[in-house]
């Protein structure tokens, strides 16, 4: 008995805030103090690296990010400049490997610069949606009662409006610039995140560590943002990558219809402009579309990999 109590006294709690512990533990795996629990503490990073399709997704995504960052150096100048005779097929002109469009603009430059816009809009729209959704879901799931009812109603109202039409209306309210488009897509996509976060909070608010935090006198805000939210993150991380993918798809549909930002080159805009010459110059449709497929595929593969790595049930089965 005496030895037990001395062990309790000498064992130290790991230093650092709850966030750092949770994130580090989730990503890199907890320090293996107990051999028996080795399996359960494998981190996300390890899980991702062992999954071949997730690896492909990460490689593709890194290539796209590199291309986005290097675009002004690889293709200097404005991609909207007319540089060559129009309707040159890919491979016909050694200077412009992917050909030119109906106004003589370089297709390769357009695709490279379009990567910047797509990734930027995708990431910021997903970020805005996550922010709003996590806030609404956390407040509703934690407090319950009237607050939860009200927020659930608001979520329901936003879900019944068709999201694409909502995006179009919001872009029509503001002007069609990259900022407004990202804001619009974020506002249209927060209900999904809110539902997931609310479900997680309803489960987690009855956990023991919340009781411990409350008995230590932590305020509600500290419990929500400091204790529960770090533990509710795994499904949110998976949803984040899917949200970026769907944001890229929505943005490309918007630009295809001609409602996107006219001052930048986007993949959807290139497809929309190439629609007039569909019969003869179908490469103008095929090439930017292939770029969209690669980007969205990479994000979906990453999302699948994260889901497999973070989902404990699948891990048990494997």
Partner 1 sequence: MTRRTRMAGIARRTVWQAVPTVFAIVVLNFFLLKLMPGDAADVLAGEAGSATVETLAALRAKFGLDQPLLHQLGSYLSHLAHFNLGYSPRYDAPVMQLILARLPNTLILMSSALAFAVVAGVVFGAIMAHWAGKWPDRVLSVLALLLYSTPGFWIGLLAIILFSVRLGWLPSGGDVTVGANLHGVAYAADVAKHALLPAATLATFFVAIYARLTRAAMLEVQRQDFVRTAHAKGLHPLRVSVRHVLRNALMPLTTMVGIHFGTLLGGAAVTETVFSWPGLGRLALDAVMARDFSVLLGVLLLSSMLVIIANLGIDLLQAWLDPRIT
Q: What is the dihedral of CA 204, 206, 212, 216, to 10 degrees?
A: 100
| Residues 211, 188 contacting (CB under 8 angstroms) | no
Q: How far is the CB of 179 from partner 1 (least distance, A)?
A: 17
Which among 67-75, 92-100, 107-115, 292-300 is the span making contact with partner 1, rule CB under 8 A? 292-300
| Residues 298, 64 contacting (CB under 8 angstroms) | yes
Applying CB under 8 A, which of residues 51, 163, 239, 241 lies at the interface with partner 1?
A: 163
Q: How far is the CB of 72 from partner 1 (least distance, A)?
A: 26
Residue with tokens 């100048």: 77
Binding to partner 1 (CB under 8 A) within 96-155 occurs at 153
Applying CB under 8 A, which of residues 59, 66, 157, 211 lies at the interface with partner 1?
A: 157
Q: Residue 151 corresponds to which tokens in the numbers above?
A: 């927020």
CB under 8 Å to 12, separation ≥6 — which residues?
none
Q: Which H/E stretch holds residue 159? A: helix 145-160
**What is the per-residue binding string for partner 1 in 216-255, x denoting contact by CB under 8 A?**
-----------------------------x---x--xx--
| Residues 291, 211 contacting (CB under 8 angstroms) | no
Contact call for residue 271 and partner 1 (CB under 8 A): yes
Degrees, nearest 5: CA angle 281-285-291: 135
Contact call for residue 162 and partner 1 (CB under 8 A): yes
Applying CB under 8 A, which of residues 164, 180, 204, 311 lies at the interface with partner 1?
A: 164
User: Which stretches of the chain bind partner 1, using CB under 8 A?
Assistant: 153, 156-157, 159-166, 168-170, 172-173, 245, 249, 252-253, 256-257, 268, 271, 275, 278-279, 282, 285-286, 289, 292-293, 296-297, 300-301, 304
């Amino acid at each position: 008995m005496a030895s037990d109590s001395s062990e309790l006294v000498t064992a130290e709690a790991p230093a650092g805030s709850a966030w750092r512990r949770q994130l580090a533990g989730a990503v890199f795996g907890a320090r293996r103090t107990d051999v028996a629990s080795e399996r359960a503490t494998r981190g996300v990073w390890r899980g991702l690296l062992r999954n071949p399709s997730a690896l492909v997704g990460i490689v593709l995504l890194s290539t796209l990010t590199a291309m986005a960052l290097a675009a002004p150096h690889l293709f200097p100048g404005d991609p909207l400049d007319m540089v060559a005779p129009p309707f040159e097929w890919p491979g016909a002109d050694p200077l412009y490997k992917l050909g030119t469009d109906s106004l003589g603009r370089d297709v390769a430059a357009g695709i490279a610069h379009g990567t910047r816009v797509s990734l930027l809009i995708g990431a910021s729209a997903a970020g805005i949606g996550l922010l709003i959704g996590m806030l609404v879901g956390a407040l509703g799931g934690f407090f319950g009662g009237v607050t939860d009812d009200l927020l659930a109603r608001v979520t329901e109202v936003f879900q019944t409006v068709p999201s694409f039409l909502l995006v179009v209306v919001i872009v029509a309210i503001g002007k069609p610039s990259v900022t407004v488009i990202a804001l619009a897509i974020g506002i249209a996509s927060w209900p999904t995140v809110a539902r997931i976060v609310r479900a997680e909070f309803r489960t987690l608010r009855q956990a023991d560590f919340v009781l411990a935090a409350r008995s230590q006198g932590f305020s509600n805000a500290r419990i929500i943002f400091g204790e529960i939210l770090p533990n509710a993150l795994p499904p949110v991380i998976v949803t984040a990558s899917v949200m970026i993918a769907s944001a890229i798809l929505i943005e490309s549909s918007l630009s295809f219809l001609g409602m996107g930002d006219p001052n930048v080159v986007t993949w959807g805009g290139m497809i929309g402009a190439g629609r007039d010459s569909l019969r003869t110059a179908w490469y103008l449709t095929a090439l930017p579309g292939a770029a969209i497929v690669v980007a969205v595929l990479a994000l979906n593969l990453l999302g699948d990999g994260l889901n497999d790595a973070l989902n404990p049930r699948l891990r048990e089965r494997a």
